[in-house]
Chains A and B, each alone.
Chain A
Amino acid sequence: MARNSMTLAKEPLWKSILRDRWLYVLLLPGLLYFIIYKYLPMFGLIMSFQDYKPMFGVLKSPWVGFKHFERFFSDPSFFMLFRNTLIIAFYNLILYFPFTIILALLLNEVTHMKYKRVVQTVTYMPHFFSWVVIASLTYKLLSTEVGMVNGILELMGYEPVNFLTSAQWFRPIIVFQGIWRDLGWGSIIFLSAIAAIDIQMYEVAIVEGANRMQRLWYVTLPSIKGTIITILILRLGRFLDLGFEQIYVQLNAMNREVGEIFDTYIYTMGVVGGQYSYNVAVGMFKSIIGIILVIGANTLAHKLGEEGVY
Chain B
Amino acid sequence: MKPKKSAGERIADSIIYLVLGIVALITLFPIIYVTIMSFCDTNRYIPENFSLGAYEYIFSTNTFLRSIGVSVYITIVGTLLSMLLTSFMAYALSCKQLRGRSLILFLVVFTMMFNGGMIPTFLVVKGTGLFNSLWSLMIPNAISAYNMILMKNYFQELPEELKESARIDGCHEIRIVFQIILPISLPIMATIGLFYAVSKWNIFMEALLYINKNQLWPVQVLLRNIIFVLTGGLGDAGSEIYKMSFSDESMKAAVIVVSSLPIVIVYPFLQKYFTKGLLMGSVKG
The answer to the question of A30 belonging to the interface, with a C-beta cut-off of 8 Å to chain B, is yes
The answer to the question of A3 belonging to the interface, with a C-beta cut-off of 8 Å to chain B, is yes
Which residue of A36, A147, A206 has the most chain B CB atoms within 10 A of its CB atom? A36
The reply to whether B27 and A188 form a contact with Cβ atoms under 8 Å apart is no
Determine the chain A residues whose CB is within 8 A of the CB of B37 once the complex forms: 140
The answer to the question of B80 belonging to the interface, with a C-beta cut-off of 8 Å to chain A, is no
The answer to the question of A221 belonging to the interface, with a C-beta cut-off of 8 Å to chain B, is no
The answer to the question of B134 belonging to the interface, with a C-beta cut-off of 8 Å to chain A, is no
Interface residue from A122, A150, A193 paired with B24 (Cβ < 8 Å): A122
The reply to whether B115 and A280 form a contact with Cβ atoms under 8 Å apart is no
Assuming A30-B89, A124-B271, A151-B45, is B228 touching A249 (CB within 8 A)? yes
Assuming A41-B121, A132-B259, A245-B204, is B23 touching A31 (CB within 8 A)? no
Assuming A188-B275, A230-B285, A266-B117, is B122 touching A126 (CB within 8 A)? no
Assuming A20-B95, A120-B275, is B27 touching A279 (CB within 8 A)? no
Interface residue from B86, B116, B260 paired with A30 (Cβ < 8 Å): B86
The reply to whether B223 and A136 form a contact with Cβ atoms under 8 Å apart is yes
Assuming A37-B140, A284-B117, is B205 touching A244 (CB within 8 A)? yes
Assuming A23-B173, A30-B86, A245-B204, is B124 touching A110 (CB within 8 A)? no
Closest residue of chain A to B253 (Cβ to Cβ) is: A140
The reply to whether B117 and A36 form a contact with Cβ atoms under 8 Å apart is no
How far is B230's CA from A139's CA once the two chains are assembled, in angstroms?
Answer: 13
**Min CB gap B37→A, angstroms:** 7
Closest residue of chain A to B223 (Cβ to Cβ) is: A132
The reply to whether A130 and B202 form a contact with Cβ atoms under 8 Å apart is yes
The answer to the question of B92 belonging to the interface, with a C-beta cut-off of 8 Å to chain A, is yes
**B175-234 with Cβ < 8 A to chain A:** 177, 198, 201-202, 204-205, 208-209, 220-221, 223-224, 227-228, 231-232
Interface residue from A23, A131, A139 paired with B204 (Cβ < 8 Å): A131
The reply to whether A212 and B12 form a contact with Cβ atoms under 8 Å apart is yes
Assuming A26-B177, A125-B27, is B117 touching A34 (CB within 8 A)? no
User: Binary interface profile of B, 98-131, with partner A (CB < 8 Å = 1, else 0)?
Assistant: 1100001001110111111111111111001000
Determine the chain A residues whose CB is within 8 A of the CB of B220 once the complex forms: 130, 132-133
Determine the chain A residues whose CB is within 8 A of the CB of B128 once the complex forms: 36
Known pairs A5-B96, A23-B91, A123-B24; list 17 more (Cβ under 8 Å). A8-B97, A13-B99, A20-B98, A22-B173, A36-B128, A37-B124, A37-B140, A40-B124, A41-B121, A119-B20, A122-B27, A130-B220, A189-B283, A189-B285, A249-B228, A276-B119, A295-B113
- Top 3 nearest A-B pairs (CB, nearest first) are A41-B116, A44-B120, A30-B89
A contact residues vs B (CB 8 Å cutoff): 1, 3, 5, 8, 13, 16-17, 20, 22-27, 29-31, 33-34, 36-45, 47, 103, 106-107, 109-110, 112, 115, 118-126, 128-133, 135-141, 143, 146-148, 150-152, 180, 183-184, 188-189, 192-193, 203, 206, 212, 224, 226-227, 230-231, 234, 244-245, 248-250, 252, 263, 266-267, 270-271, 276, 279-280, 283-284, 286-287, 290-291, 294-295, 306-307, 309-310
21 interchain pairs, CB-CB under 8 A? A8-B97, A16-B99, A30-B148, A31-B89, A34-B111, A37-B121, A39-B111, A42-B115, A132-B202, A132-B227, A135-B228, A139-B228, A148-B33, A180-B27, A189-B285, A271-B118, A276-B119, A280-B117, A283-B118, A294-B113, A309-B112
